[in-house]
Amino acid sequence: MDAMVVNPTEPPATSATPCMVAEVEMLQSDLRLLMRHAARRRDRSVRMPQPEAISGYAGLLAARPADIAADPAKLQGLYEAVDALTACVAPANVNSIRLTCAYLKCSDMGALAPGVQRDAWWVRWLNYAANAIGIIAFVLAVMLLIFVDEGRRNVQNLQAHHDKFLELVTAANDLRAGGQANGGAPAELWCRQDGETPPEHAPHNIQEIALCNQMKDVLVKQGLDYVAIRNWNAEAERLTRLSPLDWFRREYLPPEQDAIPSREQWQTTELRTAIAMSALTGFIIPLLLGFVGANISLLRVIDDRICTWTLESRDGHIALVRVLLGGMMGGLAGVVWTNGDTVSLQGFTLTLGAVALLVGFASDIVFGTLDRLLRSAADKIGNSAQPGPAAKNAG
């Protein structure tokens, strides 16, 4: 029997195990996905492989997995092909492309594994939950801002009408020589709103009648302002009942009708309006704006991940954490700046609401800055606590 001649340049034949065949099938699936994705990309920021290389990739896809697994050269070529195409579609990779495709529910990338679809489901619904928090916070913030603006305008109108009334009283008293003419009656006496002005003190010329009519008109407007403030205070009181802090307080009853101040004065005072506006603008609205800023940042991040096909399975949890951190940072901004002063940042003057929106939008930058500041302070404290060389020698 003739002896079999073995060519030393050829690699020894290997048997393909089931694990190797499964590995090759997975690599072929990855290569097919990468080629399909690279061919359909609108931007070609990375130079595509040469046509000869693409022809070789097609040959690897057409070969049987068992043949590739049994041939080390072909197996090495398959690994190199996957690596080269992964560099072409960077920063995306096989896992991120599959997850993004499952997230978008697109059907042009072939069948997807159940695990990928499950991860995409979690990412999608956690993002929906984070977006729902942001949308609800946005709607509530807009409604509260409108509500606070209404209360502020009511107080401003009341103050303006009060100043106008004092101005008219001064003008009327000056017109009657400081209240000494015509029996020495001041303007409050000869221009009463109830119409019970004594005949001897009634206005007797056109100027006094005109001033009296203006004063009555201003008093009517003041009454309307007090009605608007009373209604605003009642709505604000209903809002405060939603606060958990109000659940542990004793019930605060208004004064009696004949007390000083009376119940009507307690309901219409602008002091209650100022207190309620301070609570809303100092704590509640910054908290909501922090949620809104974090949600805006989240939408930008998710949009960028979808455009670059770089979604990851952890993005859903990160989205929810980002929104919660943004709300916390917005609320803390309201706690720090409780006096309502503006904040100066690089020449820009920002209100508390703008600061809360920005810290929610850039919570990662805020936390990075705080980490650097605390680390620097800790280093200085540690260096100051260490004894110097002279102290060591003296010891």
pTM (2 d.p.): 0.74
**Chain position carrying tokens 């107080």:** 155
Q: Are 182 and 136 in contact (CB under 8 A)?
A: no
Instruction: Find out whether 102 and 117 touch, Cβ atoms under 8 Å.
Output: yes
What pLDDT is recorded for position 183?
Answer: 47
- Element containing residue 343 per DSSP (H, E): strand 343-345
Buried b / exposed e along 298-334 (16+ C-beta atoms within 10 A): beeebeebeeebbbebebbebbeebbbbbbbbbbbbb
Instruction: Work out the pLDDT band at 238, boundaries 50, 70, 90.
Output: confident
Contacts of residue 178, Cβ cutoff 8 Å, sequence gap at least 6: none
Question: Residue 291 pLDDT > 80, yes or no?
Answer: yes
Where residue 308 falls (left for φ over 0; alpha for ψ -120 to 50; beta otherwise) is alpha
Residue 185 has pLDDT above 80, yes or no: no
Predicted confidence (pLDDT) at residue 99 exceeds the cutoff of 70: yes
Lowest mean pLDDT among 133-142, 259-268, 283-292, 382-391: 382-391
Higher per-residue confidence, 206 vs 15: 206
- For residue 146, the model assigns a pLDDT of 93
- Give the span between the Cα atoms of 378 and 92, in whole angstroms: 39
- Give 294-333 pLDDT, tens digit per residue: 999 999 999 999 888 889 989 889 999 999 999 988 888 8
The mean pLDDT of 100-118, rounded to a whole number, is: 81
Percent of the chain with pLDDT over 70: 71
Between the alpha carbon of residue 40 and those of residues 36, 57, 132, 252, 383, the distances in Å are 6, 17, 33, 68, 58
- Note the pLDDT of residue 2: 42
pLDDT, position 150: 92
Residue 242 DSSP symbol: T
Q: Find the angle CA(131)-CA(137)-CA(142) to the nearest 5 degrees.
A: 130
Range with top average pLDDT, 197-206, 250-259, 363-372: 363-372
Confidence of residue 182 (pLDDT cuts 50, 70, 90): very low
Residue 6 banded pLDDT, cuts 50, 70, 90: very low
Contacts of 65 (CB under 8 A, 6+ apart): 16, 21, 24, 25, 28
Distance between CA atoms of residues 311 and 102, nearest Å: 10
